[in-house]
């Protein structure tokens, strides 16, 4: 079976995890501080601006919390989205308001935001998708005009650049995910990037049950037994074991990026001659592709099943969230593009170690499937 995802791991990650286990300090500790430093060095920002947590979903919830999102508020977000984003909003007692996306890149359409804003709107959540960056410039303008908080989910974009700068280096309340399938992984993990050092300090307490503890002591694999609690907190801290793996991953981010770009372009080359298949947009300079999403005008599910029967796994990123039972009654704008692409998207295998031979196999069976199911 060719999987949809495959993390790029070697002996260094195994040895790092073993070192963490041997030290025996398995909770938040020195490696977490070191991982945050590695992220900050890579992005070219102060280490105090980076706060690591146990998942990308936790990173979003902390960001929403610090944006002041609470019971009764509304957050405008795409329905074409990861469900973790929506659950983070509702877990704080707020309500998602679903916005449509653009057909070409499947990211939030700024033209559809303003009509959804009212007195209950507290924030806008935008996100990048696959190898496409959202229109952050215009979304920021809308947030500023209406004095709304902006939470930028860059889970798909670690290592990518916008206007020559790394995503996250110039952003506030920007979140990353390091789960098993992301560009780099810490097995599970996430990070929030802040502009305000004060907000970052609050986040460090939030991730550890609201405890106000010395980070210097924690990052020495120790802790203080006397502390204060002034705010709500969560058990969202990252473990030393996860951080140790993340450190090794970020050391080879350039190698991972180079390989992912090569695989993406190789897929483009092999799939471009297949009729009735919509390929991703041309890869822009500075982008590290995360997933390879094609679109089929018809028979997507039949094609997907055929591929799996021939030992090629495929995915769907994503099911529109307004289709889920829990969110069917949520407020939304016109979601005609979301409705359309939700039936078309198909994620093909793409990861650093995907070989040319495997890519040709994917192309072969995809072509057979389309001839079989899409041309009648």
Residue 140 has pLDDT above 90, yes or no: yes
- Are 64 and 151 contacting, i.e. CB atoms less than 8 angstroms apart? yes
User: Quick one: pLDDT at residue 86?
Assistant: 98
- Kindly state whether residue 3 falls inside one of the protein's structural domains: no
Residue 29 has pLDDT above 90, yes or no: yes
Domain shared by 220 and 261, yes or no: no
Tens digit of each residue's pLDDT (9 = 90 or more) over 293-346: 999 999 999 999 999 999 999 999 999 999 999 999 999 999 999 999 999 999
Plot region of 33 (φ>0 → left; ψ -120 to 50 → alpha; else → beta): alpha
What is the CATH number for 133?
3.40.640.10
C-alpha–C-alpha distance, residues 13 and 115, integer Å: 48
User: Quick one: pLDDT at residue 375?
Assistant: 80
Tens digit of each residue's pLDDT (9 = 90 or more) over 50-70: 999 999 999 999 999 999 999
User: Quick one: pLDDT at residue 128?
Assistant: 98
Task: Give the H/E segment covering residue 191.
Answer: strand 190-193
Interval 219-223 mean pLDDT? 94
Domain shared by 194 and 290, yes or no: no
User: Quick one: pLDDT at residue 200?
Assistant: 97
Helices (H) and strands (E) in the chain, counts: 12, 14
- Kindly state whether residue 147 falls inside one of the protein's structural domains: yes
Please tell me the pTM assigned to this model. Answer: 0.97
- Kindly state whether residue 303 falls inside one of the protein's structural domains: yes
Answer with the one of 215, 230, 251 that is the final residue of a domain.
Answer: 251
Which tokens in the block code for residue 6?
């495959």
Which tokens in the block code for residue 69?
């999102």
Contacts of 87 (CB under 8 A, 6+ apart): 57
- Residue 240 vs residues 22, 34, 221: alpha-carbon distances, Å: 11, 10, 9
Domain shared by 239 and 136, yes or no: yes
Domain shared by 306 and 160, yes or no: no
Tens digit of each residue's pLDDT (9 = 90 or more) over 108-129: 999 999 999 999 999 999 999 9
Answer with the one of 251, 285, 319 that is the final residue of a domain.
Answer: 251
C-alpha–C-alpha distance, residues 330 and 61, integer Å: 19
Interval 81-93 mean pLDDT? 98
- Kindly state whether residue 308 falls inside one of the protein's structural domains: yes
C-alpha–C-alpha distance, residues 129 and 261, integer Å: 16
Domain shared by 136 and 213, yes or no: yes
Domain shared by 35 and 179, yes or no: yes
Domain shared by 83 and 232, yes or no: yes
Domain shared by 276 and 127, yes or no: no
Domain shared by 67 and 168, yes or no: yes
Q: How many CA atoms lie within 13 A of 261 on its CB side?
A: 15
Q: Treating both helix axes as pointing N-terminal to C-terminal, what angle do 56-66 and 197-206 enclose, rounded to 10 degrees?
A: 120
Burial (CB count <10 Å: 0-12, 13-18, 19+), residue 2: buried
- Residue 142 vs residues 60, 96, 110, 298: alpha-carbon distances, Å: 21, 18, 8, 36
Residue 354 has pLDDT above 90, yes or no: yes
Three-state secondary structure call for residue 75: strand
C-alpha–C-alpha distance, residues 9 and 29, integer Å: 23
- Kindly state whether residue 267 falls inside one of the protein's structural domains: yes
- Kindly state whether residue 1 falls inside one of the protein's structural domains: no
What percent of the chain shows pLDDT beyond 70? 100
- Kindly state whether residue 85 falls inside one of the protein's structural domains: yes
Domain shared by 317 and 237, yes or no: no
pLDDT band with cut points at 50, 70 and 90 for residue 376: low
- Kindly state whether residue 4 falls inside one of the protein's structural domains: no
Three-state secondary structure call for residue 185: coil
Tens digit of each residue's pLDDT (9 = 90 or more) over 2-19: 999 999 999 999 999 999
- Are 229 and 212 contacting, i.e. CB atoms less than 8 angstroms apart? yes
Domain shared by 243 and 336, yes or no: no
Domain shared by 321 and 177, yes or no: no
Looking at the chain, list the stretches that DSSP marks H as alpha helix, in order from N- to C-terminal side: 11-23, 30-43, 56-66, 83-91, 136-145, 197-206, 215-218, 240-251, 253-271, 300-309, 336-342, 356-373
- Residue 137 vs residues 140, 142, 174: alpha-carbon distances, Å: 5, 9, 14
Answer with the one of 251, 267, 293 that is the final residue of a domain.
Answer: 251
Give the DSSP letter string of 219-272: TTT---S--EE-S---B-PPPHHHHHHHHHHHHTHHHHHHHHHHHHHHHHHHHT
User: Quick one: pLDDT at residue 291?
Assistant: 98
Residue 365 has pLDDT above 70, yes or no: yes
Give the structural domain span for 26: 11-251
C-alpha–C-alpha distance, residues 192 and 182, integer Å: 16
Mean pLDDT of the chain, nearest integer:
97
What is the CATH number for 334?
3.90.1150.10
**CB count in 10 Å sphere of residue 224:** 11
User: Structural domain tally of the chain?
Assistant: 2
Tens digit of each residue's pLDDT (9 = 90 or more) over 175-211: 999 999 999 999 999 999 999 999 999 999 999 999 9
- Are 48 and 200 contacting, i.e. CB atoms less than 8 angstroms apart? yes
- Residue 235 vs residues 90, 196, 292, 325: alpha-carbon distances, Å: 18, 22, 34, 28
């Amino acid at each position: 079976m060719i999987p949809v995802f495959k993390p790029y791991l070697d002996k260094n990650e195994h040895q790092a995890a073993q070192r963490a286990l041997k030290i025996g300090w398995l909770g938040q500790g020195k490696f977490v501080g070191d991982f945050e430093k590695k992220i900050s060095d890579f992005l070219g920002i102060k280490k105090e601006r980076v706060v690591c947590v146990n998942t990308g979903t936790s990173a979003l919830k902390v960001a929403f919390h610090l944006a002041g999102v609470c019971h009764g508020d509304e957050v405008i977000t795409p329905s074409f989205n990861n469900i973790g984003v929506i659950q983070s909003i509702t877990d704080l007692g707020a309500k998602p308001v679903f916005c449509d996306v653009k057909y070409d890149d499947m990211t939030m359409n700024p033209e559809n935001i303003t009509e959804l804003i009212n007195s209950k709107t507290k924030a806008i959540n935008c996100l990048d998708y696959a190898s496409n960056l959202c229109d952050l410039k215009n979304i920021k303008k809308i947030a500023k005009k209406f004095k709304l908080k902006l939470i930028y989910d860059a889970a798909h974009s670690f290592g990518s650049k916008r206007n020559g700068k790394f995503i996250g280096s110039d952003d506030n309340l920007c979140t990353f995910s390091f789960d098993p399938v992301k560009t780099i992984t810490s097995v599970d993990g996430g990070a929030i990037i802040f502009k305000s050092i004060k907000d970052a300090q609050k986040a460090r307490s939030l991730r550890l049950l609201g405890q106000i503890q010395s980070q210097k002591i924690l990052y020495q694999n120790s802790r203080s037994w006397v502390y204060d609690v002034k705010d709500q907190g969560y058990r969202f801290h990252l473990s030393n074991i996860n951080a140790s793996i993340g450190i090794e991953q970020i050391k080879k981010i350039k190698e991972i990026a180079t390989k992912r770009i090569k695989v993406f372009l190789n897929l483009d080359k092999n799939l471009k001659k297949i009729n009735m298949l919509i390929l991703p947009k041309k890869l822009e300079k500075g982008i590290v592709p995360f997933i390879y999403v094609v679109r089929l005008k018809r028979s997507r599910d039949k094609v997907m099943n055929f591929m799996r029967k021939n030992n090629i796994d495929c995915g769907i990123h994503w099911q529109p969230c307004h289709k889920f039972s829990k969110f069917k009654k949520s407020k939304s704008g016109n979601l005609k593009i979301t409705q359309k692409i939700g039936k078309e998207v198909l994620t093909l295998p793409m990861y650093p170690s995907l070989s040319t031979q495997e890519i040709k196999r994917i192309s072969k069976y995809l072509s057979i499937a389309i001839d079989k199911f899409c041309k009648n």
